[in-house]
Structure 1
Amino acid sequence: MLSEVRRQIINSNLKYKEAADKHKRQRLFNVGDLVMVRLRRERFPPGTYSKLSRRKIGPIPITAKINDNAYSVALPAGCNTSSTFNVADIWPYSPPDGGIINISSSESSSSEPGED
């Protein structure tokens, strides 16, 4: 009887997993890819986050792949947070005009046109 119950539980869990995996989308990035990164309030020390600050920053390059679920990015010097992000907070960057973007280390986020 215990083996029958165990088999039923395993079959039920497999069905739940299949249903959940239908909605999952695996996102894989390579080192050097340009991405947009979401900055959540929880990433900052208390008192340093402003609700008027930018929600996403980018395009920034990926510097290291930790595993399929975590990547390290090259954050600007002004960001006071860890440079390791989960894939839930990373989006691939696509330029608005479809052109090629070159990011150099001399550029800073404050020198971007259109920002005051």
Structure 2
Amino acid sequence: MLRCLVQDHPKQWEEVLTRAEFAYNSMPNRSTGKSPFYIVYTKAPNLAIDIAILPKCKSLAAESFSGSYTDMLTEVRNHILKSNQRYKEFADHHRRQRIFSIGDLVMVRIRKERFPPGTYSKLMRRKIGPIPITAKINDNAYIVDLPADYNMSSTFNVSDIWAYSPPDDAVVINSSSESSSTEAGED
């Protein structure tokens, strides 16, 4: 938040710290659903736009302004909710749910960020596989059987995993490091 507020003047972070703190404490938290101000003081802080909540006033002009302002805020809030619903529908339309089972063969995308510094090359393969899934953490994360020469975590987000489909209808037999060579040769 500070980086966004200071932009081209990073040495002036102290001047915007109080605004950042107020903004942070005024916004509802994702996990609690309430702002820190509300949790501590049992009410949201008064802001400039809170003039819509006026004490009983005898001025007709002030009451009219307050009423129209409250209506405008309600209309803006409804538009934002509708807009957010449209964004969600559009995002859900392109989202595909991918569920894999243990033992499924998959192709895994290896992102640049996963490699140790200095080891990534632009010409490296973007996907590796087919490799089997060894464990399911949840519907969004899986552990795959990465080759030993990949020095990285074997846990991948489902967005980086694709189901493997062989180039023809041939059956693919994967020799995992866990299976022994004598099992395949026994009758």
Tell me, yes or no, whether TM beats 0.5.
yes
Q: Structure 1 residue 87 and structure 2 residue 158: aligned?
A: yes
What SS does the corresponding residue of 1:9 show, helix, strand or coil? helix
Give the % identical residues: 72
Q: 1:64 aligns with which of 131, 135, 138?
A: 135
Per-residue Cα deviation, 1:34-54 (whole angstroms, up to 9, x for no partner): 001111111011012223332
CA–CA distance in structure 2, aligned partners of residues 51 and 11 of structure 1: 42
What SS does the corresponding residue of 1:66 show, helix, strand or coil? strand
Per-residue Cα deviation, 1:62-113 (whole angstroms, up to 9, x for no partner): 111112221110001011111011122111101111111111135xxxxxxx
Moved more, 31-40 or 1-10: 1-10
Residue 12 of structure 1 corresponds to 83
CA–CA distance in structure 2, aligned partners of residues 91 and 48 of structure 1: 24
Task: Tell me: CA distance 1:80–1:3, structure 2 relative to 1, closer, same or farther (3 Å).
Answer: same
* Number of residue pairs matched by the alignment: 106
What SS does the corresponding residue of 2:159 show, helix, strand or coil? helix
Task: Tell me: CA distance 1:53–1:8, structure 2 relative to 1, closer, same or farther (3 Å).
Answer: closer
Residue 172 of structure 2 corresponds to 101
Structure 1, unaligned runs of 5 or more = 107-116
What SS does the corresponding residue of 1:22 show, helix, strand or coil? helix
> Given the two structures, how large is their TM-score scaled by the length of structure 1?
0.78
RMSD: 1.8
Task: Tell me: CA distance 1:34–1:9, structure 2 relative to 1, closer, same or farther (3 Å).
Answer: same
CA–CA distance in structure 1, aligned partners of residues 121 and 82 of structure 2: 48
Structure showing the higher helix proportion among its residues: 2
CA–CA distance in structure 2, aligned partners of residues 52 and 13 of structure 1: 40
Q: Structure 1 residue 24 and structure 2 residue 92: aligned?
A: no
Q: Report 1 or 2 for greater relative contact order, CA contacts < 8 Å, sequence distance ≥ 6.
A: 1
CA–CA distance in structure 1, aligned partners of residues 105 and 147 of structure 2: 14
CA–CA distance in structure 1, aligned partners of residues 86 and 168 of structure 2: 43
